[in-house]
Amino acid sequence: MATCETTSHELAIHGGVPVRDTLLPYGRQSISEESIQTVVGVLRSDWLTTGPKIPEFEQAFAKYVAADYAVSFSSGTAALHGAAFAAGLESGKEAITTPLTFAATANCILYTGATPVFADVSPRTLNLDPGEVAGRISSRTRALIPVDYAGHPAELEAFLELADKHGLIVIEDACHALGAAYKNRRIGSISHMTVFSFHPVKHLTTGEGGMVTTNDAGLAETLRRFRNHGISSDARSRQASGQWFYEMVLLGFNYRLTDIACALGLQQLNNLDGNLSRRRAITASYKAGLAIALMTFPAPNWHTNNSSAFQCFMA
Ligand SMILES: Cc1ncc(COP(=O)(O)O)c(C=O)c1O
């Protein structure tokens, strides 16, 4: 596979050990020549956005994570906002989440006018502790938002049990965890909604981008409307049907992912398993080769098949 990976670096010898002459980059994506040509094909087509690449990418992504529906967004943050809205968060309601995450996890609660309530993490996994969450559930709670921190899935069964008992929605922030598995099920179809990011440091990139997966047709429809101004149909379906009438049925946003990005996403999805193996191999070589200890997470047994290469990124 041809890639856009950057150039080799001079290695200076210090104390007998080869050392790079530049700092490690913030991130480095791997994009095949075939992907570049596919994106160029979209640039030459009629549909730069709201075109055919969007359902193509969404359906392929849903199949990869074994979910019934996948709804693309312009970023992981926008996808979290959509999920928070679809869960019914609004002023006067609360969502319980972890303090140990990227800012967007809690910000999405504030965007809806609801209040974030932080519960502590388990020192064993650094993931949200279900016992701590249980103690914070009140009549105002509407959603639980665990994060699969550094690629390790949270204790999803415990959160789903709490959600069943109290009539709540679980929004799983899986922005670190595409390709990870929880008890032999791939992350993406377990929680009521699962959110992914396609920022360039993630496992699959579309430049910027995000996705919500769900098995609930009603949630999927709300998510589609929310990312398209709250409008009941999109431009391509109106062109296909010849029906130009539409209604704005809720207050939404322009959070659409473009066809250009979706074409790249489809190609990245084809290469995902190979890229995940490469990340795991890099993690293993850091662990084996570094004299200093990396920050590592003692993993419960459901974590065996995860995308733990994020450990390097987070350390
Ligand atoms: C845990 C987590 N949630 C949400 C996001 C937001 O994703 P995006 O950068 O695609 O908006 C990130 C991004 O790094 C993240 O790490």
Q: Which two tokens stand for residue 173?
A: 């922030």
What mean pLDDT is predicted for residues 192-208?
A: 97
Ligand 1, atom 14: nearest CA belongs to which residue?
A: 102
Q: Counting Cβ atoms within 10 Å, is residue 55 exposed (0-12), middle (13-18) or buried (19+)?
A: middle
Pairing of strands 69-73, 94-97: unpaired
Establish whether residue 104 lines the binding site of ligand 1, counting it when its CB lies within 6 angstroms of any ligand atom: yes
Give the distance (Å) from ligand 1 centre to CA of residue 13: 37
pTM: 0.90
| 41-94 residue pLDDT tens | 999 999 999 999 999 999 999 999 999 999 999 999 999 999 999 999 999 999
Between these two residues, 192 and 297, which has the higher pLDDT value? 192
Establish whether residue 102 lines the binding site of ligand 1, counting it when its CB lies within 6 angstroms of any ligand atom: yes
Q: How would residue 15 be classed by pLDDT, with cut points 50, 70 and 90?
A: confident
| Confidence (pLDDT) at 287 | 78
CA angle 307, 19, 297 (to 5 degrees): 25
Residue 17 is classified by DSSP as E
Residue 297 has pLDDT above 80, yes or no: no
CA angle 82, 240, 48 (to 5 degrees): 60
What mean pLDDT is predicted for residues 282-304?
A: 67
Establish whether residue 74 lines the binding site of ligand 1, counting it when its CB lies within 6 angstroms of any ligand atom: no
Residue 149 has pLDDT above 80, yes or no: yes
Establish whether residue 75 lines the binding site of ligand 1, counting it when its CB lies within 6 angstroms of any ligand atom: yes
Residue 255 · residue 78 · CB < 8 Å: yes
Question: Cα 128 to chain center, whole Å?
Answer: 17
Between these two residues, 156 and 286, which has the higher pLDDT value? 156
Tell me the three state secondary structure of residue 145: strand
Give the distance (Å) from ligand 1 centre to CA of residue 295: 20
What mean pLDDT is predicted for residues 161-176?
A: 98
Give the distance (Å) from ligand 1 centre to CA of residue 67: 21
Give the distance (Å) from ligand 1 centre to CA of residue 40: 27
Please tell me the distance from the alpha carbon of residue 287 to that of residue 88, in angstroms, as a whole number. Answer: 43
Q: Which of 3-12, 99-108, 190-199 has the lowest mean pLDDT?
A: 3-12
Which of 63, 93, 202, 287 is the catalytic position?
202
Q: How would residue 302 be classed by pLDDT, with cut points 50, 70 and 90?
A: low
| 165 tagged catalytic | no
> Which domains are delineated in the chain?
33-314 (3.40.640.10)
Question: Cα 29 to chain center, whole Å?
Answer: 16
Instruction: Provide, for the chain, the percentages of residues in helix, strand and coil under a 3-state DSSP scheme, each rounded to the nearest 5.
Output: 35, 15, 45
Q: How would residue 314 be classed by pLDDT, with cut points 50, 70 and 90?
A: very low
Q: Which of 167, 208, 173 is nearest to 187 (CA)?
A: 173
| Confidence (pLDDT) at 294 | 61
Sign of CA dihedral 129, 134, 136, 140: positive
Residue 140 · residue 94 · CB < 8 Å: yes
| Confidence (pLDDT) at 296 | 60
Atom from ligand 1 closest to the CA of residue 210: 10
Residue with token string 């992912």:
257
